[in-house]
Every structure is written in structure tokens, then in C-alpha cells.
Structure 1
């Protein structure tokens, strides 16, 4: 039998996961509806995230509560597959999923979108829901994971903002009545 976080022999037994959370935000030059459409299309996350790739919904699923998707994660030269479930899907407002599924998940990711000026504030939050040996065996491992994920979220948000700006500049560079010949 392997030790778990609820097993008193496990180094993290009794540790409250609640403090292991963070929120990062940035402004992007797009409406909340447009940003929601990008984020809820989980296959696009590898466009911006330095640690996620190969993300796709299960056949027949999409951006709605209860939908499931899987993806590859990378950290410290390792790669693994995660399975997640959408737990909130409010177009133009919020999108959230739980890694491991709603009932027994380990981590929750929330994306919130708020109009500001001609664009939006995009807020990304990460919350550790429960401890699991897959996260590491020591308190330092869990702190390191949270710090890594915070850095990844910052990189993702900045890459998203840059991608939106670059995409708009390419789209807007062509005159509305077509290119001149």
C-alpha cells in the first residue's frame, strides 16, 4: 500500500492545501467574449503556455460544464498527461476546470474576464485542492510546484496578450477593402 497525504506516515499529512494558491492578471486588447472564446478552446493553450501542450477535449465535448479534456504537461524535464473537467463555463465572464475531475481533483484553474477600456483584464487563478504524493513528498516540493505554476501563469498571460496584439496588428495591416495591387 502506498502512502498518501491523508496517511500519517506521509510527510505532508495534515497540511492544509488552502494557502497554496495564487492569482495573476494582465490587460489584453480584446473583449471579454473574444478572450473567453480563446481560453475555452483548450487546444489553443499550447500557443501561450510554456508548460502545456497537446490539449484537447474528449470526442463530442466542448466548452461546457462537465466536459472533459486531457493534455500534456512539462516541468523540470519531465512530461505527463493530465485529465481535467470543466466546472465553470460562463461565456465572456469565466472559465474554470479541475485537474483530476470535479469530484476528486487536485488543482483548480480559474480564468475570469472583465472589460476595461477597449480591452479586458484577464485573471488566471490556481488553487491546490488537495495534497497528493504526485505533487511531491515535502513541503518544499509543494512550494516549488506553486511557484513554478505562478511563473507559468505569468508567462502564459504575457504570451496571450502579445499574441492578441500581434494577431490584431497583422489583421489590421490589411486595408478593409483588400490589399492594393
Structure 2
């Protein structure tokens, strides 16, 4: 290798924008109710297979700029994340960025659209920047996206079931 050549880092060649997805589900509840449930981050453990112990900071709530913490688990590992609400439109949309709006790593978002007697919930996940903690190769990040897609699909299914049970009074 000559002094003028540089080494190419495959991680640097990846584009975070390639790692995103959206999934939808119909739930048996009005958009305002679905928003109230989703924006109450402390309830996420009811339907998320991988997040627990989520709570807003003292005095905070579902409003833009608010911070919260939560425990996550994957592949036998557990860690705590800090997230900041970046969108809070009651009955319409809710979103947060893991790591905060300024330097976050992942954006989570939900939109709520009325359909019939219920709501179409659209949940999205988007990698905002590359970070070695999430993986250093395309294969690592593809596996992460698949894992997160499976998690979102399980979450939406559990959310729909929970809201149906709530509506029928079986909770």
C-alpha cells in the first residue's frame, strides 16, 4: 500500500437511510384512544416483546422535547436507552428519537388514521446514523432491521389484541 492510498472502511460506505421500514395494522379503537395508549410510554411493556420499565422523566409527558428512559433486550443483552419526543399530535401522530433529537440514532414514529370504527396504526423505524454499537457491516444492519421488523409486527399485533380486549372489557 503506498503512502498516498487510503484504506476503504466498508462501514463508511453504508448509508443509514437504507435501514428503515414501516408496518401497519388496523386496531379496534378510535385514533384519540390509540394515541393516548402509544404516547403513554410507560405502557409499552404491555405489548412490546423487547422494551420494559419505560417512564418519562419526572414532570415530563407526551409533548415535544420531553425525555424518557427504558430498558431494552436483544440476544440475551439488556441496556437502558434515553429518548426524546419529537412529535406529539394527539390523535394523529407520535414519535421519538433514541438518543435525542440533536444526535439520535433511531427514530420511531406512529401515525393514526381513522378507518371504519377503528384506526390504521402505522409504525415506522428509521436508522438516523451509523453507530458500531448496532453493527459494522451491511449483514449486521440487515439483521438488525429484520429483528426490528419482527419486533414491530409483534408489537402491533399485541397492541391490536390489547385494545380489542380493553374495548370488550376483558382487561
Matched position secondary structure for 1:104: coil
Matched position secondary structure for 2:159: helix
Q: Deviations over 1:118-164 (max 9, x none)?
A: 00000100001000011012211111111100100000000000001
Say whether residues 1:148 and 2:139 are aligned partners.
Answer: no
Say whether residues 1:44 and 2:43 are aligned partners.
Answer: yes
Residue 111 of structure 1 and its aligned partner are, at CA, apart by 0.4
Matched position secondary structure for 1:12: helix
Greater CA drift, 13-22 or 28-37: 13-22
Q: Deviations over 1:83-130 (max 9, x none)?
A: 000000000000000000000000000000000000000010000100
Runs of 4+ in 1 over 6 A off after TM superposition: none
May I ask how many residue pairs the two structures share in their alignment?
Answer: 165
- The question of whether the paired residues in 1 share the 8 Å contact of 2:29 and 2:167 is answered with no
The residue aligned with 2:103 is 104
The residue aligned with 2:160 is 161
- The question of whether the paired residues in 2 share the 8 Å contact of 1:43 and 1:54 is answered with yes
The residue aligned with 2:3 is none
Unmatched tracts of structure 1, length 5 or more: 1-7, 173-181
Residue 10 of structure 1 and its aligned partner are, at CA, apart by 5.0
The residue aligned with 2:64 is 65
- The question of whether the paired residues in 2 share the 8 Å contact of 1:18 and 1:127 is answered with yes
- The question of whether the paired residues in 2 share the 8 Å contact of 1:10 and 1:137 is answered with no
Distance 2:34 2:8 in 1: 45
Give TM-score, length-normalised by structure 2. 0.93
- The question of whether the paired residues in 1 share the 8 Å contact of 2:69 and 2:82 is answered with yes
The residue aligned with 2:75 is 76
Residue 14 of structure 1 and its aligned partner are, at CA, apart by 2.9
Give TM-score, length-normalised by structure 1. 0.88
CA RMSD of aligned residues (A): 1.4
Where is the helix percentage greater, Structure 1 or Structure 2?
2
Residue 11 of structure 1 and its aligned partner are, at CA, apart by 3.9
The residue aligned with 1:88 is 87
Distance 1:37 1:9 in 2: 47
